[in-house]
Every structure is written in C-alpha cells, then in structure tokens.
A and B are shown apart, each in its own frame.
Chain A
C-alpha cells in the first residue's frame, strides 16, 4: 500500500513534455566525486527531470533548492538508485561514480548504496535497538567480523553524528524511542557506519524543531571534511548556511548552479532571484 501512496504523491509533480531549459552557471568543479550528464527521469511516460548535468565535488556540500515538485528529490534519489524501488520510474543519461555509470547493468546496486548513503526527510530508524540500528549495515556488508569491531563502529559512528554522549548508556534501547532530532542523527550515524563517500540528505531537518535543526547543521559542517554531501532543502537560510554550491531546480530543469554566496547575493536567472527573494514558490 505504502508504495502506491508514494506513487500518487510522486505523480503530482509530473510535468507535461517539453524541451529542457539551459542551465546558467558552472556545472563543473575541479575535483568531482560524482558527474551527472544529461540525466532524464521518467515516471511512466511523464518526465520529471529534464537533461540535468552537474558535478558534485569532493568534500563539498551541494544544496539543491527549488519549489515543491521541481524534481530535486527525484534527482537526489537517482544518485544512489533509490528510484529503483518505484516500478514505473526509469532513468536515461549518465551518472558517473568512480568513472563508471551507476545505471550500467554491470553495476551492483548494493555496494553502490553502501558508498552513497542516504538520510531521509522523516527519521526512519529500524525497529531495533540503537546499537543494532548502526551495527546492522556493517554486519550485512561483512565490514565487521567480531563483537569488538562492531562496538568500535557503533561508537565512532555515534561520535561522528554527535549522539554518543546522549545514548551511550542506553544502546540496547529501541531507536524509535529517541526524540525526532536524535532519531535523525541516529539515521546519519547509520549512514556513516558503512563508511560511505557521499551522503545524500533529503530535507533532513523538515521534521525537526529549530534546536535539533541547528545540531544537524553543525553536524553537516563537520561531516563535509570527510564526506561529499548533497542536500535537498526548502530552507534558503539552511542552504546558505551549510552549502558551498547551490543548484536551483524549477519544473524538472536545472535552472542555475553556482557558488552559494553568488547565488544568494547576485543570482543570474530571474526565476532564481524570484525564488530566493520569496516572490515565487
């Protein structure tokens, strides 16, 4: 049932066929970690993403902004093939990771997702203990062999996610019993535990209060030294606080890409300016 519900919400964003619009700004970076070229995403015969090309640089935070239904979440979910779970969804174009197209039939999606982790809009810890929430993924990937390995991964992941001090005495309690902000940091710790290189965040703070949001933003600041982060957000302030580069999406097109400070101070495209000044969206 859940899948069906998701599909209908997805279908609301679906757009009529037309040509893609040209992207303004520099899509290239000097040290790219993921390279996307001419990516198109379709749900059935409707097109949700048109001809998007962008680089995601090593150890940078790329913010994706845009009005609801612009396709930014869809695009984010392409980067670790989470859209595979939606039957009617198909993708064309190239998304290169380690010089290989992740949509190539020879690519195994399991190790890909271990390298490109994801944090979702709504905190979704597993119905397991806090410890198991983090140790599970390393176990199924064979990263840990002994109990002490697992203990270490749990501790370092929780430390990196800034949650260790709060939960170290109750690791055996269910992860679902934490507060919303703690759950979201638990989900970040869970993603970190398999040592990914890229972390995708789909509006990670939209279900949290301002204090929990501030903690997550601080965390993103620390994580970018080790990871490449792509974050979808509806909050312009958040995008300007946490990201180096910002991409503005509109109705399935990538309208403008650039350094965050440039986008927010002197946007080149009228749509971008309207959106960030709150006149549209």
Chain B
C-alpha cells in the first residue's frame, strides 16, 4: 500500500471512528435518559474515537517514514558481497547512491553491473515488504484505537476534557515548530561557518579590511587573492541601512502622526491603504527605480555641483530602500498611536495643550515601545534587503563612509557567493555562511535591544 493510499484509508477510518463513537454515545444517551446525562456532548465522544484512531497510527507512520531509508539501506548493504563492503566509505557511498538511483529509475553515475542490478532489485523488494508491514501496523493501530475507545465510552467518560487536552497538545506542537526551525537554521549555518573558519582565521574575517572572495583556481590566475576581511561588507550594510532609516524613520513617523491625529476619517480610509501599497511593490521593481532613475539623478546633480558621484552609489540604494520601508514604520506607528487611550488625549487637551504638544509630550511617549518596535523591524528589513542593493549600489566592497561611492552589503555578497555552481569545500562558498552567521547574530542583537527598550518603557508607562 503506497503511503498516500495509507493516509487516505487512515482518514476514512477516522471518519468511521467518529461516527461509531458518536453513535455509541447517542445510544447510551437514549438508554440513560437524554444527552444531558452524559458527561460530554456525543460529538466529543466521536472526536475522541477519531483522535485515538488516527493519532497513534499516524505517529507510527511518521516513525517509519523517518527511518525507512536507513533501515532498508542497512539491510541491503548487509546482503552485499564481502569484497564490496570492504570498499573505502566514499566509494561505498557512491555505489549505494547508484543502487538507490537505479531502484528509483534515475540516472546512474557509472556503468550498471549485475551486482548493482541485483542489489537494486533487492532494495525494491525490501521497500515493498517494509511498506506492507507499515500498512498493516498502521491500520491495526487505527482499528485498535477505535475499539479501545469504543469499549471505554460510558456516560461518565470525560471525553470533552480529553479532547481539550489533545487540542492543547496540538497547539503546543505547532508553537514549538517555529522554535525548532530556528534552531535548525542556526545549526546548519553554524556547521558550514565552522568549516569556513577552519580555513580562514576568525580574526582575519572579522577584522580584515579587504574583501575579495575570488579564489585562484590555477596558479597563474590574476586578481584572485582570496581576501576575506568582512569589515567593508559590514560597513556597507550599516551605511546603506543608516541612509534608509534616515529617510524612513522621520517620514514614516510623521505620516503616521498625520494619519492618526490630523487626517479625518475619510482621508485616512483612503490614504492608509495607498501608503501600504508601497509595501506590496516587489523589491526588484524598487531596484529598477533605484538603478535607472535615482542613481543617474544623483550622479547628474552631483556633476552639476562639481562632486564626483559614482553611477552606483550607496546614496541611491539607501534612499530608495528608505522609501520602501516607510510603510513599515508608518503603519505600525499609526496603529500604536491609535491604540493610546482617548482619555489621555482628553487629559492633554483639557489643560489647554495644542495638538502638536499633545502628540510630542503625551502620545509619542505613551506609544514609544510600539514605535521602537516598528523602527527596529524596519532596520532588520533594511539589513536583509538585497535586490535594491544589487542593482543600485554595486558589488565592489569599498571601505568608505562616503555615501556617493559604490558599496556592497552582506546579503548581496551572500547571493553572489552562492549563485551558480559552487564547490562546497572552497572558502569562497563557505564565506557566505560565515556572513550569514554574523548577520543572524547582528539581527538577534537588534531584537534583544528592541525587547529591552520595550520592556523598560512598558514598566514606566503602564
């Protein structure tokens, strides 16, 4: 029985279990004098039956799915001739991969030998047996679950509470998924980054002033020094994010204030969604705009003023990125300013404060935790932004604080390092993971600051 078919039959069994449980509960209710004599509504008895039918069976199915390949492979390898098993691990692995490919009908790297053909046939048969055993176990578990609960259904069985507990368990599982994903991502980056740091010293990476990740493949290649000093890359990220926040923070905050305090309701109903459209534009379109409109404009006006501006400048990328994140700042700030209780506004107006005094001294301080949160979200967005920078700021890793020159950012470097065919034992490729790791800790640091600020002011203001 194929896994899909198995799942479908499990589903059918669960529905049947639900109906059986509910029917039994209804029958019971009839014999003891109405459903109010049962501890729970009949639907809960049905749900409990269905849960006992599908959850243990599904759990077993998952376990098999997780171990299927390694068990079958181990069994198959055990049956290979001794001289094959004595091969060095790397070659044995290649052989095993080939056998698996042969079994699933994919392309095989080398010549197909009778040995491989036999092994593949055995692999297929083992897989078939495994599937059959699993199907039997799963279906038996499902039926057993139904029978077990069916026997237990009595008027005093607390089906409702038990179903509630299962629901709570499901919620817990869902909420831990995010946590485990984060841990998994960190571990996978960490693993590759450690490999990078085995080849390039950490200090060279963190404090080196030159970034030139092209490695020489041949001895006589020119201009491929392979320098991995990440300072220019981080400096570029900070410079562009700073320019972007310089644009987005004041404009976003002020438009939020206008929308929440000055605009009348009809204007607000139109203006807020319009502003949020900005957030929906794909970043690559912002990239065009930055590269084709803003960058040349800055270069031309620079030329008129007699300033040398490179055609790909940090300023162009930062300005456009700033416009892009305005909606983040404005929308979040607008929400938190609106959430400040009307009684506080009344209090300020009642002592004769003007609108702007009320906003400056009462509303903004009260809304500050939310505003800081919005700003930091915007910063992480700016740091993580890639497309605009690729198109408008260039790839050259200049260490400069001059916004009129080309710079590059962490995310752009990660993209360029990983695009195309890569060899995963070269520091050039692994450098991407080291950059990713530092980026991860950078944003983590920002989040910690944000949380601290929010907590501090929450203590003070609520």
B342 touches A111 (CB 8 A): no
**A6 contacts the other chain (Cβ, under 8 Å)?**
yes
Does the CB pair A191–B350 fall under 8 Å? yes
Best-buried of A6, A110, A113, A127 by chain B (most CB within 10 Å)? A127
Question: A128 an interface residue at 8 Å Cβ cutoff?
Answer: yes
Asked if B461 and A117 sit within 8 Å, CB to CB, the answer is: no
Which residue of A has the minimal Cβ distance to B342? A2
Q: How far is the CA of A86 from the CA of B348 in the complex (A)?
A: 15
Is A87 within 8 A of B265, CB to CB?
yes
3 cross-chain pairs, A with B, having the tightest CB-CB distances, nearest first: A114-B352, A2-B342, A137-B351
> Please, which residue of chain A has its CB at the minimum distance from the CB of B457?
A127
Asked whether, in the complex, the Cβ of A117 is within 8 Å of the Cβ of B351, the reply is: yes
Could you mark each residue 323-358 of chain B with 1 if its beta carbon is under 8 Å from any beta carbon of chain A, else 0?
Answer: 000000000000000111111111111111110010
Shortest A69–chain B CB gap in Å is 19
A129-141 interface bits toward B, Cβ cutoff 8 Å, 1 = contact, 0 = none: 0000000110011
Check if A99 is an interface residue, CB within 8 A of chain B: no
Q: Number of B residues contacting the other chain (C-beta, 8 Å)?
A: 27
A277 vs B435: C-alpha distance in the bound complex, in angstroms? Answer: 79
- Decide if B350 touches A120 in the complex (CB within 8 Å): yes
The reply to whether B352 and A141 form a contact with Cβ atoms under 8 Å apart is: yes
Known contacts: A127-B366, A174-B460, A176-B462. The answer to whether A120 contacts B343 by CB under 8 A is yes
Size bracket, chain A contacts: 35 or more
- Extra A-B contacts (15), CB below 8 Å, given A2-B339, A110-B352, A136-B361: A6-B342, A109-B352, A110-B354, A113-B349, A114-B352, A118-B350, A122-B343, A124-B344, A124-B346, A126-B348, A126-B362, A127-B365, A127-B366, A140-B354, A174-B461
Q: Report the bound CA distance from A108 to B365 in whole Å.
A: 26
The verdict on A211 contacting chain B, using a C-beta distance below 8 Å, is: no
B264 within 8 A of A: yes
Residues of A within 8 A of B366 (CB): 126-127
Query: Which residues in B have their C-beta under 8 angstroms from that of A193?
Result: 351
Q: A190 touching B351 by the CB < 8 A rule?
A: yes
Enumerate chain B residues within 8 angstroms of A187, measured Cβ to Cβ.
347
| B338 to chain A: closest residue by CB | A1
A3: chain B residues at CB < 8 Å are 342
Q: Is A82 an interface residue (CB 8 A)?
A: yes
Question: How far in angstroms is the closest Cβ of chain A from B330?
Answer: 16
Partner of B349, one of A2, A5, A85, A176: A85
